[in-house]
Chain A
């Protein structure tokens, strides 16, 4: 006889209302009597209802993995298994999605089939780090589920003190604002540093994220230790005929209020003939005017990336945004991508050797100072790295002449390269 459905009066209240209900989904799985996961999902619902009643969580971690890997499975053992024995183990497999999160319906169906056979039938698209989360299986089925997914071309993601699964925006696949090949950059770094993802031994987690422009649709600036953001060095491209069309349609006040005055550096002005003038030397590539006039304005042709390091959330010293360590680099040729990988590898190595236990890159940099970090990874200082130069005099500066000479040499070198 089939196991009874648990009574879930509190969860039932989450089945009303117009938004899709995860509770209805959990119940469908629990009522799939012909499937191996039905009883597991009944007890899962029972435990979740128990959490709603008591307002407490009842999962604890442990050690579960697959052959050859030291991370990527999130073990969950129930603390209330005596009441809910069939969901006493409810582990998650973190699986890396195709960069940019593209799927065919065939692929999604195959993933469903695997998880019906080896797991709970519950999949989250996606976790906050960008993993496909196959949620809920017992220790016995972790390996068999992984083996099938791995045969399909999919691999475990990150967890613990290592490199984590990465994310990139839709970017070049569908966005005219994209300034580099986001998925290629992601795969170049991540797929060459998998050892630090699959067998984590860094001081703490390390995240890479890739956004095609300053709109930063994958929240790289704050949510990654290493943010690669698209930008360009030459002028914004203007189609003045389209500018005139926008103004003819929306009015001059609209252009002034919604384009000109919202430029953060006052780099945009409206000409008497309803065309735009842009002071490209003052423009900070923030994307606002391009977002408003998508048909008239677009990024320049001399594209590349800015790299920011150190974004993280509160623990332990408070929130940090990533800050600029590479103001601009080209990302077009194979050599450019090799250089990107080299910078990433240098940062990982420096982090591995210098961070304290459970310290993120941003915290390490706050402790040792940005200059020590830059010298450690071999990147030159640049005024784009600061909001303003130092405001206190307590620093030893007897290396001044040497440092000024380095700046002059770099400026000279850049001038020579431009000729």
Chain B
């Protein structure tokens, strides 16, 4: 056997060798910025240097041909330096306003939409799904692609009251995170247990401890050590599935999609907020999930028409109230919208303030 190479544990690389020279030169010394048009940022440094950033959408899961095409565009129409945003958009930096239009034309011609800045709907945050995850209830890349086709105009224009961040997640762990709109798997039935496999595949005390509602207990089934679920207590969250794959939670019929709104990460104006449930029971209808797109578009239409400038989704709802939200979106309000989990009292209306 060949001798193993010892790694260099170099950690997170220094970005300076890869950074645009104008950004290197003016690092920490910027003065102001504006947005000349959707998809373009213009930053001015205290030195007077200027830089234009052109932002374009990608499919995130990129084949080398796509990446090389973006590199060719970056070399021919920009200045060989790019960066990616947290939402998988690519940014090309150029030192002259003259280069902006040709770069945009080329990107659009090659199928990369330019946008995602300011009060647009940016790229949907993206998880792994059926392509690579070991516990997914749905796909991620497909859901994102199908929805971004529908929201293409809103990516390329800045017509929303404020920025809209949409997330998707293929299980209730919600790797996609908080969003103005979050589209997440919601299982509706307890796991189906393959009792023949539990003893060999699962560390049973770990699985018992993982359940948030203490619904799992050890049991002997068909003479073998296994686990059983108290189905009256089970909240169908799927937390037992990753440590114990024989507790299959994913179901083609009963793993549904739920939609949540009003998540916000920034401390800008209002404090950060968690998204709240507004719709559920939507079918996991691959390959294009039309029922999900319909509800998302209903919510966006109401927000676009009714929210004031700078109001994020949660801030709009805080102003108009939940009754009006359900009225404007046409979505039903059910007993499932009322929280009965930890700290649920904090979400009840402890006042005489009622909207009519």
Interface on A for B, CB 8 Å cutoff?
Answer: 10-11, 13-14, 16-23, 25-26, 28-29, 48, 51-52, 54-61, 66-69, 74, 76, 90, 92, 96-109, 111-112, 115-116, 121-126, 128, 130, 135-136, 143, 146-147, 150, 153-155, 165-167, 169-170, 172-176, 178, 181, 183, 186-187, 190-191, 194, 197-198, 214-223, 229, 257-258, 262-264, 284, 286-288, 291-292, 294-295, 298, 313-319, 321, 357-358
Contacts and interface: CB of A to CB of B under 8 A. Distances in A.
B84 interface: yes
Sort chain B's interface into a size bin: 35 or more
A25 B65 contact: yes
B81 to A, nearest CB: 6
B317 to A, nearest CB: 16
A316 B268 contact: no
Contacts of B255: 55
B199 interface: no
B277 to A, nearest CB: 12
A101 B269 contact: no
A215 B266 contact: yes
B98 interface: no
B30 A174 contact: yes
B266 A216 contact: yes
Given A67-B4, A216-B265, A103 B148 contact: no
Contact of B11 (A59, A103, A106, A155): A155
B7 A174 contact: no
B12 A187 contact: yes
Contact of B59 (A20, A147, A291, A314): A20
A66 B5 CA distance: 10
28 contacts: A16-B149, A19-B149, A29-B63, A29-B64, A52-B130, A57-B134, A57-B137, A76-B134, A98-B18, A99-B14, A101-B83, A103-B18, A103-B84, A105-B81, A112-B68, A124-B61, A126-B88, A128-B126, A128-B175, A147-B7, A172-B27, A173-B19, A175-B43, A187-B14, A258-B309, A288-B310, A317-B342, A358-B209
A102 B79 CA distance: 13
A149 B30 CA distance: 33
Given A107-B18, A257-B308, A76 B32 contact: no
B15 A175 contact: no
Contacts of A59: 132-134
Given A14-B287, A123-B62, A287-B268, 11 more contacts: A25-B63, A48-B139, A56-B250, A66-B7, A112-B68, A165-B12, A216-B265, A218-B86, A262-B310, A316-B212, A317-B342
Contacts of A103: 18, 81-84
B269 A264 contact: yes
A79 to B, nearest CB: 9
Contact of B272 (A99, A123, A197, A321): A321
Contacts, number: 352
A102 B130 contact: no
A291 B61 contact: no
A29 B175 CA distance: 27
A363 B17 CA distance: 39
B138 interface: yes
B130 A150 contact: no
Given A25-B63, A52-B130, A153-B13, A19 B34 contact: no
A258 B64 CA distance: 45
B252 A54 contact: yes
Nearest to B31: A176
Contacts of A178: 28, 30
B178 A219 contact: yes
Nearest to B72: A105
A147 B13 contact: no
B266 A315 contact: no
Contact of B146 (A14, A48, A298): A14
Contacts of A147: 5, 7
A52 B287 contact: yes
A13 B288 contact: yes
B38 interface: no
> Which of B60, B267, B309 is the most central at the interface, judged by chain A CB atoms within 10 Å of its CB?
B267
Nearest to A295: B32
A329 to B, nearest CB: 17
B309 to A, nearest CB: 5
Contacts of B65: 25, 28-29, 121
